[in-house]
């Protein structure tokens, strides 16, 4: 069978289930802990914040396959399947014997893979009879995805957007408004925590930690609302497995077996989704693959963090999660790969990394943008800075193949497009990009402040 340049599954071939990699892990990720009692969070405790079905998914380490509800499948058909592309032009440019494939998740208006989980979370909120959901957003990728999903299901969507992004990145804000979301610059006077912060720090431009706190407060204090999150959580990785399952179906159809699978990793939503079914095979001893997480050198949670319980948010309102972390008040240097600025890493990926099932590398930002531009020029697509971390690592792998003569098959996740990241590209063109890397002393200082569990 001739392999097409871009592989699109037919609608009949599209996956009808999500795959829960936890079911195949012998040692499960550590449970979320209640920061007050130090005990695992219960269904009741979590249900005040999250939708019931999502709490179930969050805590379920055993169910291997979750059928995707029909309404979500219908929504997926609006922008899925995403193409699996053979990067012929990139291979030629690198003069590599390697075969490079990428799974492109940017072909939807939200511009990234975030929509895969946004629609699931909105759906379950709707099924529970809720009025709406709240969330926070930094650069706006997650908020955009969620507003699209809420618009489809007729749910109210309240987004707290870090004030500096709200003012300096007005475009994603307007996209969210197109989809009917209410977007509030954070900190705001709409919440107690926001008013407190404004009183203590008048003129503050906000932070993700503060926006999370405002979103959670709004959810728990308004009947019919729950809080939703776009990464890190087990439920998010479950939904994002649609990326990997689709990829695996496509590769199996044409008899392609990747040697190495590469993804950028901030909170882990994309990487966890892409590798899920392949990791399942590895965990069950049915096949072997190398998996590589790529993180920014400025925010190296896997490569230089500590595997410990930590808060998921700077405001410390969320449960404790065991993960590779730099400390919940670690602030990365200005780094425009917004989605990769998170201080921790998905507990699932953290545990897999801890078990040696997953490798990790960190890359400096200027090199990432060089790779992004080289990729754009030959493959056409303008990549998001986050995605470009994976491009950089894939190119490095392909260059090593050129040197060794190995014809490896490399698969990487191209999570999204860079249309809303052109300020960062402009800085790159103007050579004003920041390549700061935290020192060991800095990291040790943050690590010393981790909560004692």
Residues in touch with a copy of itself (CB under 8 A): 4-6, 8, 10-11, 77-79, 89, 107-109, 111, 148, 151-152, 170-171, 174-175, 177-180, 372-373, 376-382, 417, 419-420, 422, 425-426, 429
Rounded to a whole number of angstroms, the minimum distance from the CB of residue 172 to a copy of itself is 8
CB of 240 to a copy of itself, least distance (A): 18
Cβ atoms of residues 105 and 247 within 8 Å: no
Q: From the CA atom positions of the chain, what is the Rg in Å?
A: 21
- Cβ proximity to a copy of itself, 174 vs 288, nearer residue: 174
Closest approach, Cβ 143 to a copy of itself, in A, equals: 14
Greatest Cα-to-Cα distance within the chain, rounded to the nearest angstrom: 66
- At residue 155, φ and ψ (nearest 5 deg) are -105, 145
Q: Are 40 and 59 in contact (CB under 8 A)?
A: no
Between CA 210 and CA 136 the distance in angstroms is 9
Eight-class DSSP state of 48: T
* Closest to a copy of itself by CB, 109 or 205: 109
Q: Which is nearer to a copy of itself, 17 or 171 (CB)?
A: 171
CA dist 232 → 237, 302, 325, 344 (Å):
7, 13, 12, 8
- List the beta bridge partners of residue 68: none
If the CB atoms of residues 81 and 347 are measured against a copy of itself, the closer one turns out to be 81
Pairing of strands 17-19, 65-67: antiparallel
Rounded least distance, CB 7 to a copy of itself, Å: 10
The least distance separating a copy of itself from the CB of residue 184, rounded to whole angstroms, comes to 15
Q: In what order do the strands lie in the sheet with 290-296?
A: 6-7, 84-86, 99-104, 409-414, 260-264, 290-296, 359-363
Least spacing, CB of residue 211 vs a copy of itself, in Å:
21
Residue among 276, 240, 242, 249 nearest 261 (CA): 276
Of 75 and 309, nearer to a copy of itself (C-beta) is 75
Nearer CB in complex with a copy of itself: 53/379: 379
Whose CA is closest to 353, among 387, 322, 391, 332?
322
Asked if residues 365 and 433 have their Cβ atoms less than 8 Å apart, the reply is yes
Tell the smallest beta-carbon distance from residue 444 to a copy of itself (Å). 39
DSSP characters over 18-46: EE-GGGG-SSPPPPPB-TTT-SBPPHHHH
Q: In angstroms, rounded to a whole number, what is the distance separating the alpha carbons of residues 369 and 220?
A: 41
Instruction: Identify the DSSP state of 84.
Output: E
Q: Which CB atom, from 345 or from 414, has the smaller least distance to a copy of itself?
A: 414
Smallest gap from Cβ 120 to a copy of itself, in A, equals 15
Q: In the complex with a copy of itself, which residue's Cβ is closer, 146 or 372?
A: 372
Smallest separation (angstroms) from a copy of itself to the CB of 74 = 8
Q: Closer to a copy of itself at the Cβ: 175 or 210?
A: 175
Structure tokens at 407: 């014809």
């Amino acid at each position: 069978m001739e392999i097409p340049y871009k592989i699109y599954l037919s609608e009949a071939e599209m996956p009808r289930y999500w795959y829960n990699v936890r079911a195949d892990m012998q040692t499960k990720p550590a449970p979320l802990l209640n920061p007050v009692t130090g005990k695992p969070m219960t269904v009741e405790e979590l249900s005040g914040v999250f939708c019931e079905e999502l709490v179930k998914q969050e805590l379920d380490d055993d169910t291997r396959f979750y059928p995707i509800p029909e309404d979500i499948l219908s929504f997926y058909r609006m922008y899925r399947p995403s193409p699996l592309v053979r990067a012929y032009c990139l291979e030629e440019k690198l003069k590599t014997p390697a075969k490079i494939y990428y799974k492109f998740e940017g072909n939807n208006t939200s511009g990234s893979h975030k929509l895969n989980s946004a629609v699931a979370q909105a759906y379950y909120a709707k099924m529970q009879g809720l009025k709406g959901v709240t969330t926070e957003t930094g650069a706006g990728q997650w908020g955009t995805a969620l507003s699209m999903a809420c618009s489809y299901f007729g749910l109210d969507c309240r987004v707290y957007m870090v004030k500096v992004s709200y003012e300096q990145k007005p475009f994603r804000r307007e996209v969210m408004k197109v989809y009917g979301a209410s977007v509030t610059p954070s900190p705001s006077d709409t919440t107690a925590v926001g008013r407190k912060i404004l009183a203590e720090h008048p003129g503050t431009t906000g932070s993700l930690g503060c926006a999370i706190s405002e979103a959670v407060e709004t959810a728990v204090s308004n009947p019919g609302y729950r809080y939703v999150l776009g990464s890190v959580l087990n439920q998010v990785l479950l939904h994002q497995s649609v990326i990997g399952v689709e990829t695996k179906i496509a590769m199996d159809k044409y008899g392609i077996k990747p040697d190495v699978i590469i993804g950028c990793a901030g909170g882990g939503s994309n990487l966890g989704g892409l590798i899920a079914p392949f990791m399942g095979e590895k965990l069950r001893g049915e096949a072997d693959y190398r998996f590589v997480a790529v993180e920014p050198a400025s925010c190296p949670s896997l490569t230089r963090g500590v595997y410990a319980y930590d808060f998921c948010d700077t405001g410390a309102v969320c449960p404790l999660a065991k993960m590779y972390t730099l400390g919940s008040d670690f602030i990365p240097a200005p780094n425009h790969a917004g989605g990769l600025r998170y201080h921790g890493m998905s507990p699932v990926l953290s545990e897999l990394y801890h078990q040696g099932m997953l490798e990790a590398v960190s890359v400096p930002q200027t090199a990432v943008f060089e790779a992004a531009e080289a990729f754009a020029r030959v493959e056409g697509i303008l990549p998001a800075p986050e995605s470009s971390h994976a491009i950089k690592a894939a190119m490095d792998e392909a260059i090593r193949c050129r040197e060794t003569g190995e014809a490896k098959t490399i698969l990487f996740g191209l999570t999204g497009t860079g249309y809303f990241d052109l300020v960062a590209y402009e800085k790159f063109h103007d050579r004003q990009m920041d390549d700061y890397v935290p020192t060991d002393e800095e990291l040790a200082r943050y690590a010393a402040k981790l909560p004692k569990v």
